[in-house]
């Protein structure tokens, strides 16, 4: 019985963190994505909703919309590669509202995804989608 109560508490804590993360993400991403939409062709409301709701990015315009958002947030280095480690952590904290960014597993997951995206550098919009998929799968 004690284990069941502890499990319920753990699940509640996880759901609370995810809800706070989602709220922070939407507060940061929403206005920037809307601004990016005004400067892009062929971006639909469905593309915006995919980015805003952290859904899989299935269209090129949605991928490019997220790329624009990430550019405005300073996710890229001057050479076009994604920032890593301590350079990226403050941006991730801002986007997701994390308070304890020094969590080793969290930083490792982000760095692993950055390294994969930077190693496979190809078309920028698809690179961003690959990075996001990796983070969502491993975070």
> Cα torsion for 23, 25, 30, 35, to the nearest 10°?
160
Say which residues have a Cβ less than 8 Å from residue 1's Cβ, sequence separation at least 6: none
Question: pTM of the full predicted structure?
Answer: 0.74
Tell me if 132 sits within 8 A of 116, measured CB to CB.
no
Domains of the chain as residue ranges with CATH: 2-138 (1.10.238.20)
Mean pLDDT over each residue of the chain, to the nearest integer: 78
Instruction: Please report which helix (H) or strand (E) contains residue 5, including its range.
Output: helix 2-37
pLDDT in tens, 3-50: 333 333 333 333 334 455 577 788 889 999 999 999 999 999 999 999
DSSP helix, strand, coil percent of the chain (3-state; round to 5):
75, 0, 25
């Amino acid at each position: 019985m004690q284990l069941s109560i502890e499990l319920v508490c753990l699940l509640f804590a996880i759901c609370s963190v995810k809800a706070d993360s989602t709220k922070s993400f939407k507060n940061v991403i929403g206005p920037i994505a809307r601004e990016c939409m005004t400067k892009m062709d062929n971006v639909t409301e469905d593309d915006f909703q995919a980015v805003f709701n952290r859904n899989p990015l299935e269209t090129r315009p949605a991928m490019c919309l997220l790329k624009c958002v990430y550019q405005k947030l300073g996710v890229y280095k001057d050479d076009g590669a994604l920032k890593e480690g301590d350079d990226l952590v403050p941006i991730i904290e801002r986007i997701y509202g994390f308070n304890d960014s020094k969590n080793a597993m969290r930083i490792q997951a982000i760095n692993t995804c950055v390294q994969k995206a930077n190693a496979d550098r190809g078309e920028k919009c698809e690179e961003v989608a690959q990075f996001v998929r990796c983070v969502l799968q491993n975070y």
